[in-house]
Chains A and B, each alone.
Chain A
């Protein structure tokens, strides 16, 4: 049975105004997110990868309505919530929840864990004190923390435990959509795997749709059903995880995959990495965004902007590159599956 789309984002755009360079200079805008469309099904994980500054976090915050949109639409269960007012959003907020990157800064240092976990119930439900306490204890149990930590403060916990608290708070009101913005990148390796396991267990148990943002392709591959690769505010390639890793089409995705250090000392990278860095999103180049770092770049790339579409036969795999045929032909996978 095809599962229902719970979240649909169409042509989402977020521009930030930037200070003018001179008094007579034209208005400058930073195109943080530019015409991005994604969907999320129930119980599915969508991974979003890209370098810092590519607009991953802005996209996430816009979807969660933590910041306003410039253009485009966000639908939650076919209701347009793009411009819903604070009051209209109130009943929807519990369904779309957010796990932040930094577990040290996303918890109020002056609140006990009891306060922090109780707050969602105080705002969104009319539960009595005893019922709230039960709920909170249940939450702690779900994320694998002992119940005797209720009266402690955030500073008494390690990074991994704090991230568990952040996750407990996010799942308190049984959301449909969980947006995880780099939930493991601030954590130690052995703790990362604990948190990833926890997220996967919770997803199976509660049927969460997860938007998982990370820059680590190995982690994203492990947890995601589908992956969208972002570059300079746009999605340059989207596909199912298997398909993407078998045959990445966009030169940027290929570059990313070649850049992951392989934890196997017998297979050291011999290929040259590609030069160059992310250009500024304030004045992106005309035509294709990626042209300055791309080895397939031609005249066509300088003038016309490739849109995200099915370049090859498969229906689920889309990429935004004029030379997809060339890049796919040249691709050699750095791993054996």
Chain B
């Protein structure tokens, strides 16, 4: 596979607490293709954001530790081994990130112009000041800001949430990155604005051909945006497949439960929604074996003895459940 742009292999992350080290991410593996969108779905606390922070090397220090695994950029560079200027050449330049909350991602005491120009100052030093300003204006126009020249002198608090998110996207795309990590980019926005932002991201992707790692818990957004999906649960990847496969033919009991529990426009009014009983076990008290066992309708004694592995259903469909065939036939 030549067009893999980012490959994460057996990534393990643990966080030190006062008493123990919590295993937050356990052997996470996935590949992101050039020009494609990979969705990372899961509930809060399942390790989605930790994954993206590890790729960006932004884990809080010294608590967060990458205890194993490899993250390869463009089939050659191991991101986890980079330091100093080599890391800076990639981070923000080749791999950029859009954060969830646009207000906290922007500096409140600097104008938008200053914050945008900083990127050119750091990553594209060959440009003159006037050239950088022109590039900024071009970029702002591209993300759909009506009056970019005025905006350069404004502060983040003067803008609406949608506008701020557009700025954050503009910043991420300033260096035309190969990989864009979008960590819940529309969760803080209204549905109409969300639709606008998603549309913008899609058209920018068509134009620039970057691979997008799209992190969200909203399955509607996933269906709208992604080509492939990784479903995460309690720090582990439980299912990996194409978006069509996941929605039409989910194999892991958790994916099934998740898909059944969302009310859609087509569900019958006031019919009881299916739920996944119980809750995610806390990281400190993770059971042995399958981590979904306490909520799984198909649980049996052998589930507690399974070591973590993904069973292959087809070339494009992997699932972390040793019983998937039995469940299928039942």
Residues on A close to B: CB < 8 A? 51-52, 158, 160-161, 188-194, 196-197, 200, 215-219, 221-223, 241-242, 245, 255-256, 258-266, 268-269, 272-275, 277-278, 335-337
Contact = CB atoms under 8 A, between A and B. Distances in A.
Given A273-B192, A273-B195, A277-B193, A263 B273 contact: no
Contact of A262 (B217, B220, B272): B220
B158 to A, nearest CB: 12
A189 B258 contact: yes
Query: Which of B43, B224, B244 is the most central at the interface, judged by chain A CB atoms within 10 Å of its CB?
Result: B224
Given A256-B192, A265-B243, A277-B160, A190 B275 contact: yes
A335 B265 contact: yes
B3 interface: no
Contact of A274 (B144, B192, B271): B192
Interface in B273-316: 273-276, 279
Interface hub of B162, B243, B273 (most chain A Cβ within 10 A): B273
Contacts of B53: none
12 contacts: A51-B191, A158-B279, A189-B258, A191-B43, A194-B275, A215-B190, A260-B191, A261-B195, A262-B224, A273-B195, A273-B199, A277-B160
Nearest to B244: A265
Contacts of A191: 43, 279
A221 B273 contact: no
Interface string B237-276: 0000001100100000000011101111111011111111
Contacts of A221: 263, 265, 269
Given A258-B195, A261-B218, A193 B247 contact: no
**Range of interface residues on B (Cβ < 8 Å):** 35 or more
A266 B247 CA distance: 9
B219 A189 contact: yes
Contacts, number: 131
B221 interface: yes
A197 B276 CA distance: 12
A262 B275 CA distance: 20
A260 B265 contact: yes
Nearest to A293: B192
Closest 8 CB pairs of A and B: A261-B220, A193-B273, A222-B263, A193-B261, A259-B195, A51-B190, A188-B43, A273-B195
Nearest to B45: A188
A261 B272 contact: no
A59 B275 CA distance: 31
B23 interface: no
Interface of B: 43-44, 144, 160, 162-163, 190-196, 198-199, 217-224, 226, 243-244, 247, 257-259, 261-267, 269-276, 279
Nearest to B189: A52
Contacts of A256: 191-192
B226 to A, nearest CB: 8
B192 A269 contact: no
A272 B271 CA distance: 32
A263 B192 contact: no
A263 B219 contact: yes
B99 to A, nearest CB: 19
A269 B258 CA distance: 22
B217 A189 contact: yes
Given A200-B272, A264-B247, 8 more contacts: A189-B258, A192-B262, A216-B191, A218-B262, A263-B262, A269-B224, A273-B199, A275-B144
A297 B298 CA distance: 56
Nearest to B221: A261
A335 B264 CA distance: 10
Contact of A265 (B191, B217, B247, B262): B247
A15 B4 CA distance: 56
A217 B224 contact: no
